[in-house]
Amino acid sequence: MTSIIKLHVFSGALDESPPCYLLQVDEFRFLLDCGWSENFDMTMIKELKRYVNQIDAVLLSYPDNIHLGALPYLIGKCGLTCPIYATIPVYKMGQMFMYDLYQSQHNTSDFDLFTLDDVDLAFDKITQLKYSQTVTLKGKGHGLQITPLPAGHMIGGTIWKIVKDGEEEIVYAVDYNHKKERHLNGCSLEMFNRPSLMITDTYNASYTQSRRRLRDEQLMTTILQTMRNDGNVLVAMDTAGRMLELAQLLDQMWRSTESGLSTYSLALLNNVSFNVIEFAKSQVEWMSDKIMRAFEDNRNNPYQFKHLKLCHNLAELSRIPEPKVVLASTPDLQSGYSRDLFIAWCGNSKNSIVLTTRTSPGTLARELIDNPQLRCITIDVQRRVKLEGAELEEYQRKKQDKGLNDSRSKIQQMTIEDESSDESEAEMDVDGLYHLKGKHDLMMKSEGKARTGFFKQAKKAYPMFHFHEEKIRWDEYGEIIKPEDYTIAEIVQPEEEVKKPEKGPEDEKMQEVTDLPTKCVSSTVTLDVNARIQYIDFEGRSDGESMRKILERVKPRQLVLVRGTPAATETLAEFCTSSSLIQGKIFQPKVGDSIDATTESRIFQAKLRDHLVTSLNFSTARDVELAWIDAQLNYIESDEPVDSNTLSEERNKKEKDSELIPTLDCLPSNKVPTHTSVFINEPKLSDFKLVLLQEKIPCVFVAGVLICDNKVAVRRNKAGKIQLEGTLCNEYYRVRDLLYQQYAIV
C-alpha cells in the first residue's frame, strides 16, 4: 500500500513570494493557501488557472493577503468551486482584509481584478472550523481527515494537519509563532511527533529577533520622542491580523499613567476599522489564555479600547488633534491610507514612520527597510479625481450611448425570452447577481457606525437620491447587465485625495449610488524623505533559532522547505542534514516545481483476537504498554457470534465496504519462534541514581559515571548505550536487577 503524495509549487518557494501550493494525496488535491503579492502578480495566477479544475479543497492558514489574497480572483474570475476550509477568525478577518484591500486599491486606481461581490462569493464557500475540529472528507477524499491547529501569528492562524487513513500525517505549518503574545497563544507544533511529511517555510530561518521587550521599548521611545517634538507617527500595519497585537499594545501604553502618552492621540485608520474591532471583540475565545481569563474573571474585553480612535478615511483622521499616532493599512505602503499618509508626512523631519513587517521585495516599505539611508525616493502617486470639462461631457455622452445600447439589448433579450418557452437561465443569472449585489457586505449596513459623530455629518453632506433614477433601468425580468456596467458603476466613486467628506466606505449604497464621474490619474513624484524611518519587527513569527528547535522536536520523516530566500532555505536544509533529523528526503522545490514525496506507507490493519491479547505479557514504559507478540494472520471471517450490541452497525457496514480485515490469532504453542529479548525505554542515569538511593545503595556521579557502593559503575559508552561494570559481588547483581527494572523488556 502506498499513498501518493505530491506537491506542486505555484508560488512561494526559494523566494519571498506568497505561499500557494497544490498538495496531492492520492486522488485528492488540496490547494494550500493562495496568496497574492502586493502588486498582483499574474504569472502565478496563469499557472494556477490551469489547475483550477483539479483542486478539490482549499485550506487557508491566515487571513492576510499573503495567504488568501488570490481567493476572490480564483472564485470570481477563474471559476474555482471547491469547498474552502478556514477557522472562524480567518473567515471573518480574511473578509476584512479583502474589503480593505479592494477599497484601498479602488480609492486610487481603476482596480478590476476582483470586485466586492467576488469577495463575498469566495467567503460564502468557506466552511468555518474551530481549532482541533476534525473534518472527515468524503467521496474522492475518503479516508482523509483535516484538522486546523493553533499557529499563533494572527488570530485564527492555522497549522493544518492532514491525516490519511489515521496514520500518514502531513503537517502544513508556515509563518507560525511559538511564542505567546499579548493577544494570542503560541502554536501547538510540539504535539506532533514524527509526521510523515512536514511542509514549512524558511522565511525566518537565518533571522534573529531582538527580544520582545526591547522591540516594545523601541516603539515606545520612538512614539514618545516624536510626540514630544510635535511630530506624527505613522505605523504601517495590516488590516486585521498583526494590527490586533499592536493596537492592544498601544492602547495599554496609553492607559498606563506613567507613560505620559494620554495627552496625545491614537488612531486606527483603515476602511473597515469599526468592523475589525467589533469582530475582534467577539473572538475572545480564540485569543491568549490571559485574555480569556481576564474576560472570564472580570469581563475585560481588551478590544474595548479607551484611547484608540477608529477612523475610516482621511477626513475622519484629520479631525483628530495632532500630534497623533496612526495605525494605518497597508503595511507595504503600496496602497491604502498608509501610502497617502506616507506621502503627506515623509517630508517633515519631525514625523516618524514605523514599518512593522518585511513585505515582499519591490514594495515601498521593503525598499525603505532595505535602504535605511534613503533620503529621496521617486514613486508613482495615483489618485482619483472628478471628471471635468470635456472629459465629463465625453463620459456623459458615452453613458447615454450605453443607455441606448442597454435598452436595445434589453428589447432583444425580451424577444429571445418570449421565444423560449421555459424560464430563461440568463434571467436567473441576472437575478442571482442582483440578489448577491443587494445583500453583499456585512460591513456595509453598519448601523453601529452611525453613532460616531463624523458619520452623521458625512451623511448629511451627500444625500443620495441620484441613484433611484438608475434603478428605473431594471424591469421585472431584469436586464442583461453587461459586466462593464458594473465596473464603471463601482469605479465611479469619488475618493479624492484630502477632501473626502462623503459617507464612510462601509455604506453599501456608495458603491452603486455615487454617480459622480471620476477618473484615476497617476503622476510620478520625487519625495524627500526627512521623517525618521524605522523598522521594528512586529511580524510575530518564530525566528531561526526557534524554528530549528521546533524541527528537532517534531522530527518529520520528510520535509519540504518553502518560502524563504535561497540562502535561508539552504541554512535550514543544512541544519536538518547535519543533525540527521530527517530520515527521509528534504525537498527544496523552486517555483513551478513538482516534487514527489510518495513513500511506501507500510501499514495494514488487523483484528486482535481476545485470547491473543489476554495471553500477552505487557510491560509498561512511560504511558505505553508493550508486549512481544507472535501471531498468525488469518483471513477467515471470525467464527465468534457477532453480537449486535457490541458491534455498532456503522462498523459492520465499514467492514463490508472495505476489504476483509485479517485477524491476528495465536500461534500453536509449538510453532512459537524464539526471539531475542528487546530492552526498551532507556532510563536516564540521573533517574537511575534516584532509584538506587531509594534502595539505599550509596552512589555518586564521578565524571559522568555513576559509581554505586564503590563496586559497580554504570556509564554510557561511546555509542550512548548503558554499560554496567563491576567486580563479581552481590551488589553487582542487585544493581543489575534494579537497572533491568527500569526497562520494558519484551
Could you give the CA distance from residue 536 to residue 327 in angstroms, rounded to a whole number? 14
Does residue 552 interact with other proteins by CB under 8 A? no
In the complex, minimum distance from the CB of residue 131 to other proteins, in angstroms, rounded to a whole number: 6
Kindly state whether residue 294 participates in binding other proteins, applying the rule CB under 8 A.
no
Closest to other proteins by CB, 422 vs 447, is: 447
Min dist CB 146 to other proteins, Å, is 12
Within 152-171, the residues that bind other proteins by CB under 8 A are 166-167
Residue (of 318, 305, 181) closest to 254 by Cα position: 305
The nearest distance, CB 252 to other proteins, in angstroms, is 19
- Output 36 or 102, the one with its CB closest to other proteins: 102
Q: Which listed residue (235, 443, 561, 568) binds other proteins by CB under 8 A? A: 443
Distances (CA, A) of 47 to 60, 438, 624: 19, 34, 48
| Among the residue ranges 151-159, 179-187, 442-450, 691-699, the one whose residues contact other proteins (CB under 8 A) | 442-450
Residue count of the chain:
746
Among 81, 133, 396, 710, binds other proteins (CB under 8 A): 133
CB of 144 to other proteins, least distance (A): 16
| Choices 63-71, 377-385, 414-422, 613-621 (CB under 8 A): range interacting with other proteins | 613-621
Q: Is 639 in the site for other proteins (CB under 8 A)?
A: no
Beta bridge partners of 663: 607, 634
Identified binder of other proteins from the candidate list 434, 474, 604, 701, rule CB under 8 A: 604
> Quick one: which segment of 243-251, 313-321, 480-488, 612-620 binds other proteins (CB under 8 A)?
612-620
Nearer to other proteins, 602 or 696 (CB): 602
DSSP secondary structure code for residue 287 in this structure: S
371 part of the interface to other proteins, by CB under 8 A: no
Confirm if 595 and 11 have CB atoms less than 8 A apart.
no
Of residues 403 and 448, the one with the C-beta less far from other proteins: 448
Answer yes or no whether residue 672 interacts with other proteins by CB under 8 A.
yes
The cell numbers describing 346, all together, are: 515623509
Record the cell numbers describing residue 618, joined without a space. Answer: 505487557
What is the total count of residues that contact other proteins (CB under 8 A)?
A: 109
Dihedral (CA of 625, 629, 634, 638) sign: negative
* Beta carbon nearer to other proteins, 486 or 732: 732
The window from 173-181, 474-482, 637-645, 695-703 that contacts other proteins (CB under 8 A) reads 637-645
Among 632, 658, 710, 741, binds other proteins (CB under 8 A): 632
State the cell numbers at 134: 476534525
Task: Count Cβ atoms within 10 A of the Cβ of residue 484 and give its class: 0-12 exposed, 13-18 middle, 19 or more buried.
Answer: exposed
Copy the grid coordinates of residue 32.
494550500
DSSP secondary structure letter of residue 531: S
Q: For residue 165, which of 727, 514, 654, 739 has the smallest C-alpha distance? A: 654
Task: For 629, list phi and psi in degrees, rounded to 5.
Answer: -125, 130
Instruction: Judge contact between 67 and 18, C-beta under 8 A.
Output: yes
As given in the structure block, the three cell numbers for residue 105 are: 486599491
Tell me which of 190, 380, 596, 725 binds other proteins, using CB under 8 A: 725
Between 224 and 745, CB nearer to other proteins: 745
Q: Which of residues 179-238 bind other proteins (CB under 8 A)?
A: 193-194
Q: Which cell numbers hold the place of 615?
A: 495471553
Pick between residue 220 and residue 724 the one whose CB is nearest to other proteins.
724
Shortest gap between Cβ of 677 and other proteins (angstroms)? Answer: 4
Q: Is the peptide bond before 257 cis (omega within 30 degrees of 0)?
A: no
Selected from 39, 127, 134, 457, the binder of other proteins by CB under 8 A is: 134
Task: Please identify which residue in 600, 639, 684, 730 interacts with other proteins, judged by CB under 8 A.
Answer: 600
Q: Is 606 in the site for other proteins (CB under 8 A)?
A: yes
Q: Taking contact as CB under 8 A, which single stretch among the options 60-68, 343-351, 626-634, 688-696 is the one that binds other proteins?
A: 626-634
Q: Which of 329, 334, 336, 359 is nearest to 239 (CA)?
A: 329
Q: Name the helix (H) or strand (E) containing 121.
A: helix 116-124
Measured from the CB atom, is 282 or 396 closer to other proteins?
A: 282
Structural contact between residues 329 and 4, judged by C-beta atoms closer than 8 angstroms: no
Q: How far apart are CA 616 and CA 188, in angstroms?
A: 36
Could you give the CA distance from residue 619 to residue 741 in angstroms, rounded to a whole number?
Answer: 10
Q: Which member of 262, 630, 697, 731 binds other proteins (CB under 8 A)?
A: 630
CB contact at 8 A, 157 and 541: no
Segment lying near other proteins (by CB under 8 A), choices 60-68, 123-131, 225-233, 357-365 = 123-131
- Written as nine digits, the cell of 50 is 490551469
Binding mask 675-704 for other proteins (x = CB under 8 A): xxxxxxxx----------------------
Does 515 help bind other proteins (rule: CB under 8 A)? no
Q: Given the complex with other proteins, which of 39 and 638 has the nearer CB atom?
A: 638
The x, y and z cell numbers of residue 528, run together, are 524627500
Which set of grid coordinates corresponds to residue 404? 441606448
Q: By CB under 8 A, tell whether 270 contacts other proteins.
A: no
| HSE toward the beta carbon, residue 117, CA cutoff 13 A | 17
Q: Print burial letters for 445-477: b (CB count within 10 Å at least 16), e (below 16).
A: ebeebeebebbeebeeebebeeeeeeeeeeeee
Site for other proteins in 296-315 (CB under 8 A): 296-297, 299, 301
Nearer to other proteins, 372 or 668 (CB): 668
Q: Does 127 bind other proteins (CB under 8 A)?
A: no
Contact criterion met (CB below 8 Å) for 14 and 591: yes
Nearer to other proteins among residue 223 and residue 240 (C-beta): 240
**Binding to other proteins, residues 79-98 (CB under 8 A):** 88
Coil, helix or strand at residue 98 = helix
Element (H, E) at 293: helix 289-298
Q: Which is nearer to other proteins, 1 or 703 (CB)?
A: 1
| Identified binder of other proteins from the candidate list 446, 511, 569, 588, rule CB under 8 A | 446
Question: By CB under 8 A, is residue 498 in contact with other proteins?
Answer: no
Tell me whether residue 130 or residue 499 sits nearer to other proteins (CB atom).
Answer: 130
Q: Which residues 10-49 are close enough to bind other proteins by CB under 8 A?
A: none
- Rounded CA-CA distance 746/739 in Å is 15
| CA pair distance 247, 267, nearest whole angstrom | 9
φ/ψ of residue 741, rounded to 5 = -65, -20
Residue of the chain from 42, 414, 603, 702 that contacts other proteins (CB under 8 A): 603
**Is residue 559 at the binding interface for other proteins, with CB under 8 A as the rule?**
no
- The grid cell for 545 is 533559532
